[in-house]
Amino acid sequence: MNRDHKLDLLDMPEMLGVLFDDVDHAQERIDIECYIFSSDEFGKDFAERMCKAKGRGVKTRALYDPLGSQKAEEKFFEEMCGKGVDFRPYRPLWKTLGSGKLAPRDHGRIFLVDQIAVTGGAAWAKPWAPKDRGGEGWQDINIRIEGPVVADFAELFEQRWREAEGKGAQPKDFDTGKKYDELRLVVATPGVGLATAKARAALPDHLHRRDALFNMQRVLLLVHALQTKDYERLREGVRDRWHQPARSNMVPLLADVLALEDPDVLGAFLSGAGPSIAVIARQNFERLEQLLSTMYATAGHQATVRTLTVHHAPATERAGASVSGR
CATH number of the domain bearing residue 62: 3.30.870.10
* Whole-number pLDDT of residue 3: 64
* Whole-number pLDDT of residue 81: 87
pLDDT-derived band at 99 (thresholds 50, 70, 90) equals: low
Q: Which domain holds residue 56?
A: 6-165
Residues 153 and 244 in one domain: no
Last residue of some domain: 132, 165, 198? 165
* Whole-number pLDDT of residue 262: 95
d(CA 144, CA 15): 8
**Strand pairing report for 29-34 and 59-64:** parallel
Whether residue 44 is predicted with pLDDT greater than 70 in this model: the reply is yes
Is residue 178 included in any domain, yes or no?
Answer: no
Is residue 175 included in any domain, yes or no?
Answer: no
Whether residue 23 is predicted with pLDDT greater than 90 in this model: the reply is yes
Report percent pLDDT > 70 for the chain.
86
Residues 146 and 260 in one domain: no
Is residue 1 included in any domain, yes or no?
Answer: no
* Whole-number pLDDT of residue 1: 47
Whether residue 52 is predicted with pLDDT greater than 70 in this model: the reply is yes
Mean pLDDT of 154-158: 91
CATH of the domain at 301: 3.30.70.890
Residues 18 and 134 in one domain: yes
Residue type, 282: R
Query: When comparing pLDDT for 71 and 268, which is higher?
Result: 268
Query: When comparing pLDDT for 158 and 164, which is higher?
Result: 158
Last residue of some domain: 118, 133, 165? 165
Residues 158 and 251 in one domain: no
Burial (CB < 10 A; 0-12, 13-18, 19+), residue 145, is buried
Burial (CB < 10 A; 0-12, 13-18, 19+), residue 311, is middle
Residues 227 and 261 in one domain: yes
Whether residue 62 is predicted with pLDDT greater than 90 in this model: the reply is yes
Is residue 174 included in any domain, yes or no?
Answer: no
Overall number of domains in the chain: 2
Residue type, 293: S
Whether residue 126 is predicted with pLDDT greater than 50 in this model: the reply is yes
Measure the CA angle with vertex 100, ends 97 and 103; round to 5°.
75
pLDDT-derived band at 180 (thresholds 50, 70, 90) equals: low
Mean pLDDT of 30-59: 91
* Whole-number pLDDT of residue 165: 72
d(CA 194, CA 276): 10
As beta bridge partners, residue 88 has 63
> Is residue 97 helix, strand or coil?
helix
Whether residue 25 is predicted with pLDDT greater than 90 in this model: the reply is yes
Q: Which helix (H) or strand (E) holds 190?
A: strand 184-190
Is residue 25 included in any domain, yes or no?
Answer: yes
Residues 133 and 210 in one domain: no
- Per-residue pLDDT reduced to its tens digit, 287-319: 999 999 999 999 999 999 999 875 544 444 433
Burial (CB < 10 A; 0-12, 13-18, 19+), residue 172, is middle
Residues 107 and 203 in one domain: no
Name the DSSP class of 67.
Answer: T
Alpha-carbon torsion, ordered 32, 34, 202, 139, to 10 deg: 30
* Whole-number pLDDT of residue 279: 97
Residues 159 and 271 in one domain: no
As beta bridge partners, residue 307 has 186
* Whole-number pLDDT of residue 312: 47
Query: When comparing pLDDT for 135 and 178, which is higher?
Result: 135
* Whole-number pLDDT of residue 176: 61
Mean pLDDT of 268-296: 95
Out of 220-224, 251-255, 272-276, pick the least confident: 220-224
> Is residue 34 helix, strand or coil?
strand
Mean pLDDT of the chain, nearest integer? 84
Residues 150 and 235 in one domain: no
> Is residue 5 helix, strand or coil?
coil
174, 40, 24: which is closest to 110 by C-alpha? 174
d(CA 151, CA 157): 10
Is residue 137 included in any domain, yes or no?
Answer: yes
Mean pLDDT of 200-212: 87
> Is residue 71 helix, strand or coil?
coil
Whether residue 261 is predicted with pLDDT greater than 90 in this model: the reply is yes
Mean pLDDT of 54-65: 94
Residues 135 and 258 in one domain: no
> Is residue 112 helix, strand or coil?
strand
Residues 206 and 290 in one domain: yes
Residues 153 and 20 in one domain: yes
Is residue 176 included in any domain, yes or no?
Answer: no
Query: When comparing pLDDT for 141 and 243, which is higher?
Result: 243
Whether residue 96 is predicted with pLDDT greater than 60 in this model: the reply is no
Is residue 172 included in any domain, yes or no?
Answer: no
12, 47, 10: which is closest to 30 by C-alpha? 47
Last residue of some domain: 138, 165, 192? 165
Whether residue 323 is predicted with pLDDT greater than 70 in this model: the reply is no
d(CA 175, CA 159): 10
d(CA 297, CA 302): 7
